[in-house]
Structure 1
Amino acid sequence: MNRNFWIIALIAFINSLSFTILIPIIYLYGKRFGLSDFQTSLLFSIYSIAQFFATPVIGKLSDRFGRKPLLIISLAGTVIANLLAGTATTAIVLFLARFLDGITGGNASVAQAMISDVTSPENRAQGFGIFGAGLSLGFVLGPATSLLAQQISLGAAFLVSSTVALVALLITIFFVPEPLQTRAEKAHNIFDLGLGNLIRGLFMPKVGVLLIINFFIGTTFTIFTYAFQPYFLNVLGQNNRSLTTMFLLFGVLGAIMQTWGVSILKRKFSVVNILFLALFIRSLSFVLMPVLPIVIYFVAVSILFSLFNSLVQPAINTLISLNAKPQDQGTAMGLNASYLSIANGVGPVIAGMLIHQSNPQTYGYPLYLAGILTFLVLFLAIFTRQRYIPKVV
């Protein structure tokens, strides 16, 4: 891996850190403004919906004008949005800040396209594995950083997030060269900014089926992520400190697997088979988690889950990258991130409909559902594999 790759991976880690600092405090921060539970949930959905529409536009523009300018714009949006949120005095400003962060939130997809630009097809799986490890490390350090910032105030977490994003912005401006060698042709229609690709992308040869598969993968995973915390706290009777330790465990194991694990498995298995294996273990883990309401048992299953779950997105990203044309890398990655964004809004709603506080047994229902649906996604991936297996795997 060359110098440019490691700089881009560093930016991806910093960006992930900026994002995950906010995860523990958005709900509480919304309550500070007197928002109801439903109104507070809109703080999550407005970000995901805005990102769903904006990400393919940013990806398309990055194919046309280069990765660096769009990454700069995207990071600058995060800096400004979180600064506004951290100093907001009204709920309207807070909602506007979340919308701005979402509408400029193509950081990850542009960074993924840059990874594709600076790695060879043979090294791309390892490259996306390291990229994913950086994201996992951000998911470990982000909540810990947030906890420290909250000692000052909830708004301080947004300001710290803004500062972290500013560091990534400065690194991009001064140290990242433009990696895109072949740019897409200029559009004949100036309004052709990629929104139509949300539909057309589904029909892209080899890429479209992967976008569909990854949308369902994302939906089943967010069903789990919503259900995991109330199950751990309410059914297993654990506290916030234990929950933080679990996130730390997930992040550390994920980072290890995405760096060394990917390279080891790649010697024996193709990327497609790694995806199948990871999906099988993920679905099996979801089904097994709520079988016994015992902490040690749950932790053991969670360790198995975290090791193989960390392989899913690097494998999917690699397959999309290998199947997309060089001039369409940004568009393909943007579409992928966009459909994952909408999945982030669908999964928690499904899980929330199954849970009833008056009946603790229902906390396990979303986990069973996530496991069953992931099995179905695995069957879909196997059944359609001839449509997306690349020449280099």
Structure 2
Amino acid sequence: MNRSFWITTLIAFVNSISFTILIPILYPYGKQLGLTDFQTSLLFTTYAGAQFLATPVIGKLSDRYGRKPLLLLSLAGTVVASFMAGTAHSAAILFAARFFDGITGGNVSVSQAIVSDVVSPQDRAKAFGIYSSATFGLGFILGPATSLIAQQVSLGASFLVSSGLALIALLVTFFFLPETLKVKAEEATNVFHIGLGNLVKGLTIPRVGILLMINFLIGTTFTIFTFAFQPYFIHVLGQNSQSLTLIFILFGSLTLVMQVKGIPLLTKQLSLVQILLLSLLIRSLSFVVMPIVPSLAYFVSVSILFSLFNALVQPMITTLISLNSKSNVQGTAMGLNASYLNVSNAFGPIIAGSLIHQSNAVTYTYPLYLAGVLTFLVWLFAIATRKQYRHRAS
């Protein structure tokens, strides 16, 4: 792995901490500002919906004008938006901040395109494993841990720390990251050429389109869980925002172990497609059995199994998309992938929030069961279509 890869991974790691600081506190922060469960779910939807619109545009522009300027723009948006949220005195300002963060949020897709630029195809599974272990692994440990400290001041302080970390990532990008785009795409002539039209056209891309569809379905089912388990954890299991943060630290720790140690071992024995299918099956079963017993010890036990295999899903999807994409459209492909994942993030919380009724505790289990059943159906779909996206290197 060369210098540009490690710098990009460092930037993505710092950005990941900035992002994961917010995960354990967004639900209780919304409640603190007087939002209902359903209204709080709209915070997640607002951010994800804005990202859905912006990410393909940012990805396409990075193919035309370079990775670095678009990464700088995205990071600057996070700096401003997190500061707005941290100083918000009303739910309206918080919603505006989440929208602004989403509309400028192409950080992940652009950094993934940089990895594709600088790493050879045969090394990308390993590269994205390292990248994911730093961002979705170590970042998911240090982010919630940092949030736990910031919460001692206030929930809003977590947003201010997030803003500061995004600023650090921005400065590292500006001073140390070289431009990695070697072949520029043709100049866009209108907004549809920039990328929005690709949201539909992307599904027709050979081998990539089916992966975008699968990842959209994966994301929808997963975000039903990620929103629903927070009120379940607090209201059914009787926990608070601090213990919620600790469970996120557990998720991150296990993710890091699996992505650092597990991926290299598994890729020697199984194909990328086989690893993906196994992970989806375990995820489905975990969602279904998780709410059966309303016990903290039981929930943590199931969460351990879930976290280990859940850590494999996105690295496998990202690698398969990268391997099936031509070199001069890596940014577009990664942008489309992030965009479909983002719009799935918009649907999941609304589905979960609409099933929950605060007056009836049993309804907090409904979204978890639903996520399990739907994930099983996605698993069946991924099996049925595997010949369409299987790559010779996978």
Q: What displacement does 1:62 show?
A: 0.5
Distance change in 2, residues 1:187/1:304 (3 Å): same
Once structures 1 and 2 are overlaid, which stretch shifts more, 32-41 or 353-362?
32-41
Q: Is the 8 A contact 2:46 2:346 kept in 1?
A: no
Aligned partners of 1:238, 1:98: CA distance in 2, in Å?
A: 26
One-letter code of the match for 1:375? F
Aligned match of 1:83: 83
Distance change in 2, residues 1:89/1:116 (3 Å): same
One-letter code of the match for 1:53? L
Matches within 5 A, 1:343-362: 343-362=344-363
Q: What displacement does 1:343 show?
A: 1.0
Aligned match of 1:62: 62
Q: Is the 8 A contact 2:41 2:353 kept in 1?
A: no
Once structures 1 and 2 are overlaid, which stretch shifts more, 156-165 or 198-207?
156-165
Structure 1: 5+ residue runs without aligned partners?
none
Once structures 1 and 2 are overlaid, which stretch shifts more, 223-232 or 108-117?
223-232
Aligned partners of 2:230, 2:104: CA distance in 1, in Å?
A: 29
Q: What displacement does 1:246 show?
A: 2.1
Distance change in 2, residues 1:34/1:354 (3 Å): closer
Q: What displacement does 1:146 show?
A: 2.3
Aligned match of 1:310: 311
Aligned match of 1:185: 186
Report the RMSD for the aligned CA atoms in angstroms. Answer: 2.1
Aligned partners of 1:155, 1:287: CA distance in 2, in Å?
A: 34
Say yes or no: does 1:134 pair with 2:134: yes
Distance change in 2, residues 1:233/1:117 (3 Å): same
Aligned partners of 1:254, 1:153: CA distance in 2, in Å?
A: 28
Distance change in 2, residues 1:218/1:36 (3 Å): closer
Aligned partners of 1:26, 1:243: CA distance in 2, in Å?
A: 11
Aligned match of 1:247: 248
Aligned partners of 2:32, 2:369: CA distance in 1, in Å?
A: 34
One-letter code of the match for 1:295? L
Aligned partners of 2:129, 2:41: CA distance in 1, in Å?
A: 32
Q: What displacement does 1:158 show?
A: 2.2
Aligned match of 1:341: 342
Once structures 1 and 2 are overlaid, which stretch shifts more, 324-333 or 237-246?
237-246
Q: Is the 8 A contact 2:45 2:350 kept in 1?
A: no
Once structures 1 and 2 are overlaid, which stretch shifts more, 100-109 or 350-359?
350-359
Say yes or no: does 1:9 pair with 2:9: yes
TM norm structure 2: 0.93
Say yes or no: does 1:291 pair with 2:275: no
Aligned partners of 2:134, 2:195: CA distance in 1, in Å?
A: 28
Q: What displacement does 1:77 show?
A: 1.3
Q: What displacement does 1:25 show?
A: 3.5
Aligned match of 1:222: 223
**Other structure's SS at 1:45 match:** helix
Q: Is the 8 A contact 1:75 1:168 kept in 2?
A: yes
Q: Deviations over 1:26-70 (max 9, x none)?
A: 455456666666655443322211111000000000011111111
Say yes or no: does 1:375 pair with 2:376: yes
Q: Is the 8 A contact 1:12 1:108 kept in 2?
A: yes
Aligned partners of 1:26, 1:106: CA distance in 2, in Å?
A: 20
TM norm structure 1: 0.93
Aligned partners of 2:373, 2:240: CA distance in 1, in Å?
A: 28
Q: What displacement does 1:128 show?
A: 1.3
**Other structure's SS at 2:358 match:** coil
One-letter code of the match for 2:289? L
Structure 2: 5+ residue runs without aligned partners?
none
Aligned match of 2:101: 101
Distance change in 2, residues 1:304/1:85 (3 Å): closer
Aligned partners of 1:203, 1:78: CA distance in 2, in Å?
A: 32
**4+ long deviations beyond 6 Å:** none
Q: What displacement does 1:190 show?
A: 6.8
Q: Is the 8 A contact 1:126 1:259 kept in 2?
A: no
Q: What displacement does 1:6 show?
A: 1.5
Q: Deviations over 1:209-249 (max 9, x none)?
A: 11110011001111111222233333334454443332221
Q: What displacement does 1:294 show?
A: 3.5
Q: What displacement does 1:380 show?
A: 0.7
Aligned partners of 1:241, 1:80: CA distance in 2, in Å?
A: 26
Aligned partners of 1:96, 1:356: CA distance in 2, in Å?
A: 26
Matches within 5 A, 1:30-45: 30=30, 40-45=40-45
Aligned partners of 1:233, 1:30: CA distance in 2, in Å?
A: 14
Q: Deviations over 1:55-89 (max 9, x none)?
A: 00000000111111110111111112223333445
Aligned match of 1:268: 269
Q: Is the 8 A contact 2:144 2:249 kept in 1?
A: no
Aligned partners of 1:291, 1:270: CA distance in 2, in Å?
A: 33
What is the count of residue pairs matched by the alignment?
393
Aligned partners of 2:267, 2:362: CA distance in 1, in Å?
A: 40
Distance change in 2, residues 1:36/1:351 (3 Å): closer
Aligned match of 1:176: 177
Aligned match of 2:153: 152
Aligned match of 1:330: 331
